[in-house]
């Protein structure tokens, strides 16, 4: 049986690795999700592919250099389309909550770079 895994959510239709992208992938009947996670300066786990937020938000810098509270001030949707303005970086807990009911979850743990 073929299973469909949404890489970074429905990343061609919504900003990658956002709750909007994961919700849309679920609506499109994906069997599972793939994502990447990083640790923040204050020990929270957030969902983002890159080590930095330069390409996917209105901020710059490395995730490890920010607290979760600081990261939540950035917009992770406008780079993709104005309709996603205000999208926030998701936490791993939020990702797991939206993943309920799926048969496949692939979480790639990114270790801090040296």
Structure-token pair, residue 61: 């810098």
- Check if 44 is active-site: no
- Bridging pattern class, strands 45-47 and 5-7: unpaired
pLDDT band at 110 (very low <50, low <70, confident <90, very high): confident
- Check if 38 is active-site: no
Model confidence pLDDT, tens digit, residues 67-98? 999 999 999 999 999 999 999 999 999 999 99
Instruction: Give the active site residue among 7, 38, 44, 62.
Output: 7
More confident residue, 31 or 110: 31
Residue 70: the pLDDT is 98
Residue 101 has pLDDT above 70, yes or no: yes
Residue 112: the pLDDT is 75
> Average pLDDT of 10-15?
97
pLDDT band at 113 (very low <50, low <70, confident <90, very high): low
> What is the C-alpha separation between 14 and 63, in angstroms, rounded?
21
Residue 114 has pLDDT above 60, yes or no: no
Compute how many other C-beta atoms are within 10 angstroms of the C-beta atom of residue 14. 23
Model confidence pLDDT, tens digit, residues 14-66? 999 999 999 999 999 999 999 999 999 999 999 999 999 999 999 999 999 99
Instruction: Give the active site residue among 38, 44, 49, 62.
Output: 49
């Amino acid at each position: 049986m073929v299973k469909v895994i949404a890489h970074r959510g429905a990343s061609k239709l919504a900003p990658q690795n956002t709750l909007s992208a994961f919700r849309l992938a679920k609506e499109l009947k994906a069997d599972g999700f793939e994502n990447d996670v990083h640790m923040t300066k204050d020990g929270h786990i957030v969902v983002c592919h890159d080590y930095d937020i330069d390409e996917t938000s209105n901020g710059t810098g490395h995730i490890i250099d920010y607290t979760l509270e600081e990261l939540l001030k950035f917009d992770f949707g406008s780079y993709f389309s104005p309709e996603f303005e205000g999208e926030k970086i998701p936490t791993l807990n939020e990702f797991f909550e939206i993943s309920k009911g799926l048969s496949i979850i692939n979480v790639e743990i990114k270790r801090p770079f040296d």
